[in-house]
Amino acid sequence: MASNIKGFSKWTKEEKLQWIAKTYFSNSEEIIALIKTYWNSDEDVQKLHDEFIENTLTNFYLPFGVAPNFVINGRNYTLPMVIEESSVVAAAAKAAKFWSERGGFKATVLNTEKIGQVHFTYTGDSAALTRFIDTIRPQFFSDTEALTQNMRKRGGGILDIALRDKTELLENYYQLHVTFDTKDSMGANFINSCLEQIAATLKEQARHFDSAEQELEVVMSILSNYVPNCCVRASVSCAVSDLTSSEIENPEEFVAKFMQAVRIAEVEPFRAVTHNKGIMNGVDALVLATGNDFRAVEAGVHAYASRGGSYSSLSHAKVEDGIFTFWLDLPLALGTVGGLTSLHPMVKVALKLLGSPNAEELMQIVAVAGLAQNFAALKSLTTTGIQQGHMKMHLKNILNQFKATDEERRNAVLHFEKNIVSHSAVVELLESLRK
């Protein structure tokens, strides 16, 4: 193993690569050659990718697929999806086709507020602190005008700054809870810059507030990825009788079983986690394709799923007057300008494919992707079972793992049309073909 090194970040990419390969791999030349095969042949494109993060050695590719036939609010879409898991894109496309023949998906943005907080401690009188914050609140807005002017021109900016007393949870703990509207940008840098200025103003003004300079101490200022008031709803709906298909012979029986599966996810956290993971298969794939922060989305969504005190399903279903409705609400802080959206070439392709949506439109499309994925999974689980379709899609990966020839692939596909796919079954077939 290597000892600590100094100045690594200042080395060239070639120097970093050589050191990594020679330090950690016995076949260093093979590793170097492999890593370099993933470099982009266009030097300008590669330089762009190199500068996205620090200490870049190469690119790590994920498939960029598409799911057609999505009808959302009466408009046709083909969704770009970046994901490595078999059957996700196929399931999304299948659900899209199913609902395109039954009125399509509906989506609406419920609200668009984003949150940032200045966390601080204060050991003085809380009533005096409230009066102090009320007095200097206009100063917060005036001191951030230079930062917010462009956002305000687009109809966004700082919406409110509220003092919150959290001393029941943590001794001497208070916060300035700041709400923002960042329009078409995700707004992380904008929000954090505003918060740091607000924190600086708070510290400066505290010097004139009796003995508050000693009593008030700013701990940190940072945006929150929990955005319960930046939320979108996606839904599908049709008469129960219209659900009949090649896989659904008895729609009433299907709906009863489907709704029971949803109810189980609403009350059983062990099931809810996997249920919601299926939703995020669709959400993350589209969030990645459009250059947004899937980690922030994941954190916020799962916090939202726990807002009732127990982790629960994000989706819900009902039947009223013979009409089946399936829906979900998702907190999604997304952007279509700034960050990777204006840098990554394939992000530009993805957004163009979607018709160059604004942030609210993208929120709706992403929520629909999650609902489609969830519907496809629940439909499979309550009819044929999820492994039948998933393992047939996964067959290609297993064959690739064992370097199957074209002839072996053709034989495998024919064989597993009538047999259950499993890793061991594929190995056994290949062994028999190779004898």
**H helical segments located in 27-77:** 28-37, 43-50
- What is the full DSSP assignment across 364-417? HHHHHHHHHHHHHHHHHHTTT-HHHHHHHHHHHHHHHHTT--HHHHHHHHHHTT
Residues 4, 9: Cα–Cα separation, whole Å: 13
Task: Report the half-sphere exposure of 348 (CA within 13 A, side-chain side).
Answer: 4
Given the residues 13, 277, 302, 415, the one annotated as active site:
277
Read off the tokens for 340: 């990777």
Residues 75, 307: Cα–Cα separation, whole Å: 33
**Residue at 229: amino acid letter:** N
Q: Which residues, 6 or more positions from 180, have their beta carbon under 8 angstroms from its beta carbon?
A: 113, 114, 115, 116, 156, 157, 158, 159, 187, 190, 191, 194
> Catalytic residue at 390?
yes
SS3 236: strand
**Residue at 120: amino acid letter:** F
> Catalytic residue at 293?
yes
> Catalytic residue at 277?
yes
Neighbours of 434 (CB within 10 A): 10
Spatial contact of 212 and 124, defined as CB atoms under 8 Å apart: yes
- What is the full DSSP assignment across 134-162? HHHHHHHHHHTHHHHHHHHHTT-EEEEEE
Read off the tokens for 140: 């917060």
Residue 342 CA: distances (Å) to CA of 148, 330, 337, 339, 349: 21, 25, 6, 6, 11
Task: Report the half-sphere exposure of 430 (CA within 13 A, side-chain side).
Answer: 18
Q: Which of 323, 317, 425, 314 is nearest to 370 (CA)?
A: 314
Given the residues 94, 275, 390, 394, the one annotated as active site:
390
Given the residues 13, 50, 85, 316, the one annotated as active site:
85
For the chain, the first-to-last Cα distance in angstroms comes to 42
Given the residues 184, 266, 293, 361, the one annotated as active site:
293
Residues acting as catalytic residues:
85, 277, 293, 390
